[in-house]
Structure 1
Amino acid sequence: MKPHAEIAEVWPRDGRVRLVGHIHGHPAEGEWRLLLTRRSHAEQRLGYPAQVKGDRFEGELSLDDLAAATDTAEAGIRAGTEVEEWDVHLTDGEVELRAGRRLDDIHGKKKIMVFPEQRVRGIGVRPYYTVKDNLSLECRTGAVT
C-alpha cells in the first residue's frame, strides 16, 4: 500500500477541524504540517503545524482561514452554484502524504461517514471522504445541508 497519512479521528467543531492519525509507510522523523490544497487552484495552499510522536500525528486547521481563502480567491463562491474542495495532506517539506482512511476495511466512506457542516463567513465547510477514501474539505454557500 502506498504511504499515506491514515486518519483515525476527525473532530469538526468550534470553527476548527482537528485530525488525529498515523503516518503509514514512511519514516515519521522531522517537522510535519497539515497541508490543504485547493483542488481547482493547486497553487493555493494553507499549512498548519502537526505534532508527531512516533508515527502518530495530530493537528488542527482553522475554518476561518479556509473560508477567507475560498471566498477571496478569484470571484469566490457564487451563491449556491459552486463547491470548492480542498484536499488534505501531511507533509514534512519533502514528501506529501495524502490523508485518508484505508486500513479499516470499510469501503465507500463517502456515503457512510458524514461529518457536520460548520458555517464560517457565510460559507459552509465540512470534511468528507472521497470515493477513494481520502479526506477532503468542501466549502459552499447557501443553505445548510
Structure 2
Amino acid sequence: MARKQVDDWQCSVGRSATILGDRWTLLILREALLGTTRFADFQTNLGIAPDVLTDRLSTLVEYGVMTRNTYQEPGQRVRPAYHLTPAGRELHVIVGAYQQWGDKHLPRPEGPTMTRRAKRTDRPVHVAFVDDLGYEIPADDVASIPTGN
C-alpha cells in the first residue's frame, strides 16, 4: 500500500478526503460504528473485494482511525480484528451527516435504513452546526471564512 499524500493539501478538507473520501471507506466506517470488527464480516456485509478492503483498512489503521488487533476462535488460525479509535469514533458525525443528507435528498421508498438516538434519553438526534454556547445554527446561517494560512 502506498502512503497517501496528505501533505499535498493545505486545506483540512483535502487532507481528510485523502484518507476518508472514498465510498468504501465511508461504508467501512458505517459498519465499524455498527459494531463490525472482523475482516470477513466487513467483506460479507459490504460485498467488497478483499484487496480493496485490505487497502482501506490498512489506511485507516495507518492514520489512527482504527486499530488492528488479533483474535482466535478455538481450533482456528489467528485473524485480525479492527476497532475504531477515539478519532475514528468522532467520524460518527460525518457518517451521520452523509446518511441525513441521503435520507433527505435521495430517499428510499421504504424509508431510512437507520435512525440515530441519544443513548441516555432515547430521543432522535440529527447532525447540525452548534455554536460555542450550544445553540443550533441553521446551515444557511454559517459562514466559511478562510484563515489565510
Task: Please give the range of the TM-score, normalised by the shorter of the 2 chains.
Answer: under 0.3
Structure number with the higher strand fraction is: 1
Structure number with the higher helix fraction is: 2
TM, length-normalised to structure 2 = 0.25
Structure exhibiting the larger radius of gyration computed from Cα positions: 2
